[in-house]
Protein backbone atom coordinates (compact mmCIF):
# COMPACT_ATOMS: atom_id res chain seq x y z
CA UNK A 1 0.00 0.00 0.00
CA UNK A 2 1.53 3.37 -0.91
CA UNK A 3 2.38 5.59 2.04
CA UNK A 4 0.02 8.54 1.98
CA UNK A 5 0.15 12.23 2.75
CA UNK A 6 -1.49 11.32 6.05
CA UNK A 7 1.51 9.11 6.82
CA UNK A 8 3.84 11.99 6.03
CA UNK A 9 1.91 14.29 8.39
CA UNK A 10 2.10 11.65 11.14
CA UNK A 11 5.84 11.20 10.48
CA UNK A 12 6.47 14.92 10.88
CA UNK A 13 4.46 14.87 14.08
CA UNK A 14 6.83 12.19 15.38
CA UNK A 15 9.95 14.06 14.23
CA UNK A 16 8.74 17.23 15.96
CA UNK A 17 8.98 15.43 19.32
CA UNK A 18 12.78 15.41 19.09
CA UNK A 19 15.22 18.30 19.44
CA UNK A 20 16.17 20.06 16.25
CA UNK A 21 19.14 18.46 14.57
CA UNK A 22 18.41 15.10 16.19
CA UNK A 23 15.59 13.93 13.96
CA UNK A 24 17.35 10.60 13.38
CA UNK A 25 16.29 9.75 16.95
CA UNK A 26 12.76 9.45 15.58
CA UNK A 27 13.66 6.39 13.53
CA UNK A 28 12.25 3.73 15.89
CA UNK A 29 8.72 5.20 16.09
CA UNK A 30 8.89 6.01 12.37
CA UNK A 31 9.50 2.36 11.60
CA UNK A 32 6.45 1.41 13.66
CA UNK A 33 4.46 4.02 11.73
CA UNK A 34 5.34 2.62 8.30
CA UNK A 35 4.75 -0.88 9.67
CA UNK A 36 1.25 0.20 10.74
CA UNK A 37 0.54 1.17 7.14
CA UNK A 38 2.06 -1.79 5.33
CA UNK A 39 2.03 -4.62 7.89
CA UNK A 40 5.83 -4.72 7.73
CA UNK A 41 8.79 -2.50 6.90
CA UNK A 42 8.81 -2.49 3.10
CA UNK A 43 11.55 -1.07 0.90
CA UNK A 44 9.20 1.85 0.31
CA UNK A 45 8.95 2.33 4.08
CA UNK A 46 12.74 2.31 4.38
CA UNK A 47 13.02 4.94 1.64
CA UNK A 48 10.28 7.02 3.29
CA UNK A 49 12.06 7.01 6.68
CA UNK A 50 15.41 7.83 5.08
CA UNK A 51 13.97 10.76 3.15
CA UNK A 52 12.06 12.20 6.10
CA UNK A 53 14.98 11.85 8.50
CA UNK A 54 17.79 12.83 6.13
CA UNK A 55 19.72 9.61 6.65
CA UNK A 56 20.69 6.82 4.28
CA UNK A 57 18.54 3.83 3.43
CA UNK A 58 21.42 1.65 4.66
CA UNK A 59 21.19 3.30 8.08
CA UNK A 60 17.43 2.71 8.22
CA UNK A 61 17.81 -0.91 7.08
CA UNK A 62 20.51 -1.55 9.67
CA UNK A 63 18.07 -0.64 12.43
CA UNK A 64 15.03 -2.30 10.87
CA UNK A 65 16.83 -5.61 10.52
CA UNK A 66 18.33 -5.52 14.03
CA UNK A 67 15.12 -5.45 16.08
CA UNK A 68 12.72 -8.38 15.88
CA UNK A 69 9.68 -6.13 16.29
CA UNK A 70 10.25 -4.79 12.79
CA UNK A 71 8.97 -7.31 10.28
CA UNK A 72 10.20 -7.81 6.74
CA UNK A 73 7.14 -9.78 5.64
CA UNK A 74 3.52 -8.66 6.10
CA UNK A 75 2.05 -9.64 9.47
CA UNK A 76 -1.61 -10.62 9.83
CA UNK A 77 -4.09 -8.83 12.06
CA UNK A 78 -2.91 -10.99 14.94
CA UNK A 79 0.75 -11.65 15.69
CA UNK A 80 0.90 -14.66 18.01
CA UNK A 81 4.28 -14.89 19.74
CA UNK A 82 5.01 -17.99 21.80
CA UNK A 83 7.97 -17.82 24.13
CA UNK A 84 10.16 -20.88 23.78
CA UNK A 85 13.07 -19.53 25.76
CA UNK A 86 14.37 -21.33 28.84
CA UNK A 87 11.81 -20.66 31.60
CA UNK A 88 8.87 -21.13 29.25
CA UNK A 89 10.42 -24.13 27.48
CA UNK A 90 10.92 -25.90 30.81
CA UNK A 91 7.24 -25.40 31.63
CA UNK A 92 5.75 -26.43 28.29
CA UNK A 93 6.36 -23.55 25.88
CA UNK A 94 7.46 -25.88 23.09
CA UNK A 95 4.20 -27.86 23.45
CA UNK A 96 2.23 -24.63 23.25
CA UNK A 97 4.07 -23.62 20.09
CA UNK A 98 3.67 -27.07 18.51
CA UNK A 99 -0.10 -27.13 19.16
CA UNK A 100 -0.71 -23.67 17.73
CA UNK A 101 1.51 -24.39 14.75
CA UNK A 102 -0.48 -27.58 14.04
CA UNK A 103 -3.82 -25.78 14.55
CA UNK A 104 -2.91 -23.00 12.15
CA UNK A 105 -0.89 -25.06 9.69
CA UNK A 106 1.94 -22.52 9.72
CA UNK A 107 5.43 -22.36 11.16
CA UNK A 108 7.69 -19.63 12.48
CA UNK A 109 7.25 -16.26 10.79
CA UNK A 110 4.45 -17.57 8.61
CA UNK A 111 0.92 -16.26 8.16
CA UNK A 112 -2.30 -18.20 7.64
CA UNK A 113 -3.57 -18.19 4.04
CA UNK A 114 -6.42 -15.80 4.96
CA UNK A 115 -3.81 -13.30 6.17
CA UNK A 116 -5.31 -13.19 9.67
CA UNK A 117 -2.74 -14.76 11.99
CA UNK A 118 1.05 -14.77 12.01
CA UNK A 119 2.90 -17.16 14.30
CA UNK A 120 6.39 -16.75 15.67
CA UNK A 121 8.75 -18.35 18.14
CA UNK A 122 9.73 -15.59 20.54
CA UNK A 123 12.77 -15.11 22.69
CA UNK A 124 12.21 -14.25 26.37
CA UNK A 125 9.17 -11.96 26.61
CA UNK A 126 10.28 -10.64 30.00
CA UNK A 127 7.47 -12.45 31.81
CA UNK A 128 9.31 -15.53 33.08
CA UNK A 129 7.36 -15.29 36.35
CA UNK A 130 4.23 -16.20 34.36
CA UNK A 131 5.79 -18.93 32.22
CA UNK A 132 4.82 -20.28 29.84
CA UNK A 133 3.56 -17.13 28.17
CA UNK A 134 2.39 -16.08 24.76
CA UNK A 135 1.43 -12.67 23.46
CA UNK A 136 -1.02 -11.51 20.83
CA UNK A 137 0.10 -8.20 19.35
CA UNK A 138 2.35 -7.89 22.41
CA UNK A 139 -0.44 -8.30 25.00
CA UNK A 140 0.16 -11.10 27.51
CA UNK A 141 -1.61 -14.38 28.00
CA UNK A 142 0.05 -15.85 31.08
CA UNK A 143 0.61 -19.41 32.26
CA UNK A 144 -0.89 -20.96 29.15
CA UNK A 145 -0.79 -24.60 28.20
CA UNK A 146 -1.40 -26.21 24.82
CA UNK A 147 -5.17 -26.40 25.37
CA UNK A 148 -5.72 -22.86 26.66
CA UNK A 149 -3.42 -21.42 23.98
CA UNK A 150 -5.33 -23.32 21.32
CA UNK A 151 -8.61 -21.86 22.63
CA UNK A 152 -7.18 -18.34 22.42
CA UNK A 153 -6.15 -18.84 18.82
CA UNK A 154 -9.53 -20.46 17.98
CA UNK A 155 -11.26 -17.36 19.35
CA UNK A 156 -9.10 -15.15 17.11
CA UNK A 157 -10.05 -17.30 14.13
CA UNK A 158 -13.73 -16.85 14.99
CA UNK A 159 -13.20 -13.09 14.85
CA UNK A 160 -13.33 -12.65 18.64
CA UNK A 161 -10.87 -10.71 20.77
CA UNK A 162 -9.96 -12.78 23.82
CA UNK A 163 -9.06 -10.78 26.91
CA UNK A 164 -5.35 -10.72 27.78
CA UNK A 165 -4.35 -11.68 31.33
CA UNK A 166 -2.78 -8.27 31.87
CA UNK A 167 -2.63 -4.97 30.07
CA UNK A 168 -4.80 -3.40 27.41
CA UNK A 169 -7.59 -5.13 25.50
CA UNK A 170 -6.51 -6.57 22.15
CA UNK A 171 -6.25 -4.39 19.08
CA UNK A 172 -5.03 -5.27 15.60
CA UNK A 173 -1.36 -5.36 14.64
CA UNK A 174 -1.78 -2.15 12.64
CA UNK A 175 -3.40 -0.40 15.62
CA UNK A 176 -0.71 -1.69 18.00
CA UNK A 177 2.02 -0.51 15.62
CA UNK A 178 0.52 2.96 15.55
CA UNK A 179 0.50 3.05 19.35
CA UNK A 180 4.15 1.96 19.35
CA UNK A 181 4.78 4.92 17.06
CA UNK A 182 3.61 7.03 19.98
CA UNK A 183 0.00 7.77 19.09
CA UNK A 184 -2.55 7.24 21.87
CA UNK A 185 -5.00 4.38 22.00
CA UNK A 186 -8.37 6.15 21.92
CA UNK A 187 -10.48 3.18 23.03
CA UNK A 188 -12.36 3.51 26.31
CA UNK A 189 -10.61 1.40 28.95
CA UNK A 190 -7.49 1.03 26.82
CA UNK A 191 -5.20 1.74 29.75
CA UNK A 192 -7.39 0.29 32.50
CA UNK A 193 -6.41 -3.39 32.24
CA UNK A 194 -4.89 -5.37 35.09
CA UNK A 195 -1.26 -4.54 35.82
CA UNK A 196 1.17 -6.43 37.99
CA UNK A 197 0.08 -9.86 39.22
CA UNK A 198 1.01 -11.88 42.26
CA UNK A 199 3.88 -13.87 40.67
CA UNK A 200 5.76 -10.62 40.04
CA UNK A 201 5.84 -9.74 43.71
CA UNK A 202 5.97 -13.25 45.20
CA UNK A 203 9.52 -12.78 46.49
CA UNK A 204 8.69 -9.45 48.04
CA UNK A 205 5.64 -10.91 49.76
CA UNK A 206 7.76 -13.66 51.27
CA UNK A 207 10.32 -11.09 52.40
CA UNK A 208 7.54 -9.00 53.87
CA UNK A 209 6.05 -11.98 55.71
CA UNK A 210 9.47 -12.93 57.04
CA UNK A 211 10.15 -9.31 58.02
CA UNK A 212 13.27 -9.25 55.83
CA UNK A 213 14.54 -5.70 55.37
CA UNK A 214 13.80 -4.38 51.91
CA UNK A 215 15.77 -1.74 50.03
CA UNK A 216 14.66 1.67 51.21
CA UNK A 217 12.43 0.08 53.83
CA UNK A 218 9.54 -0.08 51.36
CA UNK A 219 6.68 -2.38 52.24
CA UNK A 220 4.83 -3.97 49.34
CA UNK A 221 1.08 -4.48 49.50
CA UNK A 222 -0.23 -7.65 47.91
CA UNK A 223 -1.99 -6.96 44.59
CA UNK A 224 -5.74 -6.79 44.87
CA UNK A 225 -7.92 -8.53 42.32
CA UNK A 226 -8.15 -6.47 39.15
CA UNK A 227 -5.27 -4.16 40.09
S1 LIG B 1 11.62 -17.36 29.15
FE2 LIG B 1 9.55 -17.01 28.51
S3 LIG B 1 9.13 -15.05 29.29
FE4 LIG B 1 11.18 -15.36 29.88
**Ligand 1 atom at minimal distance to the Cα of residue 127:** 3
CA 134–ligand 1 middle distance (angstroms): 9
Q: Kindly state if the Cβ of 131 falls inside 6 Å of ligand 1.
A: yes
pTM: 0.87
**What is residue 187's predicted lDDT score, i.e. its pLDDT?**
84
Task: Output Rg (C-alpha) for the chain, integer angstroms.
Answer: 20
Q: Where are the alpha helices (DSSP H) in 43-166?
A: 43-53, 57-64, 86-90, 93-104, 146-157
pLDDT in tens, the chain (227 residues): 567 899 999 999 999 999 988 999 999 999 999 999 999 999 999 999 999 999 999 999 999 999 999 999 999 999 999 999 999 999 999 999 999 999 999 999 999 999 999 999 999 999 999 999 999 999 999 999 999 999 999 999 999 999 999 888 999 999 999 999 999 988 887 777 777 778 888 888 888 888 776 555 555 565 555 44
Is any atom of ligand 1 closer than 6 Å to the C-beta of 86? Answer: yes
- CATH class of the domain at 78-171: alpha beta
Alpha carbon distance 202, 128 (integer Å) = 13
Query: Would you tell me which CATH number, out of the four given (3.30.420.40, 1.10.10.1590, 3.40.50.720, 1.25.40.10), belongs to the domain 1-74+172-187?
Result: 1.10.10.1590
The C-alpha atoms of residue 42 and residue 188 are separated, in whole angstroms, by 32
Q: Which of 133, 140, 166, 197 to mutate to test the pocket of ligand 1 (most atoms within 8 A of CB)?
A: 133
**What was the pLDDT predicted at 133?**
98
Atom of ligand 1 nearest to the CA of 93: 2
The whole-angstrom separation of Cα 180 and Cα 224 is 29
pLDDT of 196 reads: 75
Does the C-beta of 85 come closer than 6 Å to ligand 1? yes
Ligand 1 contacts CB of residue 133 (under 6 A): yes
Task: Name the residue ranges covered by the structural domains of the chain.
Answer: 1-74+172-187, 78-171
- Those residues whose C-beta lies under 8 Å from the C-beta of residue 38, and which sit 6 or more positions away, are 1, 3, 44, 45, 74
Amino acid sequence: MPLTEETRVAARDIIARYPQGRSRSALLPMLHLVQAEDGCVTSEGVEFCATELGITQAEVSAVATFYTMYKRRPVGDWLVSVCTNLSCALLGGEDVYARISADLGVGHDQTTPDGAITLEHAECLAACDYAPVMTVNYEFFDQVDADSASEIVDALRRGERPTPTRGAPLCTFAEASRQLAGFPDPRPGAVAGPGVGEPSVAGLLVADAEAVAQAGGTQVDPPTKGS
